[in-house]
Amino acid sequence: MDASSNSPFNALPPVVVGLAVVMGGLELMFQLATAGLLGGAGGVGWRIAAMQDYAVLDSVWEWMRANRSYPPEQLVRFAAYPLLHGGFVHVAFVVVFILAIGKMVAEVFSPLAFLLVFWVSAIVGALAFVLVLDSGYPLIGGYPGVYGLIGAFSFIRWINLGVAGENQMRAFGLIGMLLAIQLIFATLQGNYGDVVADLSGFVAGFILSFIVSPGGWQRILNRMRQR
């Protein structure tokens, strides 16, 4: 038997592996640069420079809003920040969630739908972060997008439970547990920015699944006709 057929990555949809590899690869680059093995003396500051350029910052949003100017180089923050993390542990947890939850979503959704759920949820989470809060902390990392995937996973469970005639509220058990844990840490740290961004990402992922899931748009049209 070919040993390569036993690889755990064989069971993962390519779009899931690709997203995880991009995030892990960027973090590896930052780790090597911090250790002085990449980029020379200037490599030590790569992560800080990337955060200055691509993290979602409330101060930058307020400047854009006050000046009624939204330059592309600043708007790109809302799409780029999910790829930037604070360190190895941060990205490791995000990648684990992508591989676990993303696998179950990508097995049902198309690759394009999977990426739409992740990035639209991340963008919605970032918008909620700057609109709802006045935070002095930067927003970085893939968690809002991951929570969007959890929203899609909850949608899949919600549909399956409904078809089976079971209690559909059980579909929200995972998000309830995760948010409870997050609220505890947010209260201890005094920073609720991640909770707002992640919860908004979850809601966006769940709602978007009504449209991008297989047969989703047709399902909406059928329900509208029934009314």
Give the Cα separation of 223 and 32 in Å (integer): 53
User: Domains (ranges, CATH) in the chain?
Assistant: 3-226 (1.20.1540.10)
- Tokens, residue 59: 């101060």
Give the Cα separation of 223 and 148 in Å (integer): 24
| Own/partner long-range contacts of 176-180 (Cβ < 8 Å, ≥24 apart) | 178/147, 178/150
Q: Quote the strand ranges of 63-220, DSSP E.
A: none
Q: Cα torsion for 191, 197, 202, 205, to the nearest 10°?
A: -170
- pLDDT values of the chain reduced to their tens digit, one per residue, 227 residues: 444 445 555 589 999 999 999 999 999 999 999 888 888 777 888 999 999 999 999 999 999 999 999 999 999 999 999 999 999 999 999 999 999 999 999 999 999 999 999 999 999 999 999 999 888 889 999 999 999 999 999 999 998 888 888 888 888 888 888 888 878 876 766 666 688 999 999 999 999 999 998 876 666 556 545 55
Q: Residue 220 carries which DSSP code?
A: H
- Tokens, residue 58: 């409330």
> What is the model's pTM?
0.88
Give the Cα separation of 160 and 174 in Å (integer): 16
b or e along 150-167 (b: 16 or more beta carbons within 10 Å of the residue's beta carbon)? bbbbbbbbbbeeeeeeee
pLDDT of 4 reads 45
- Tokens, residue 184: 């505890």
pLDDT of 225 reads 56
Q: How far is CA 114 from CA 86, 140, 153, 213, in A?
A: 24, 20, 11, 9
pLDDT of 2 reads 47
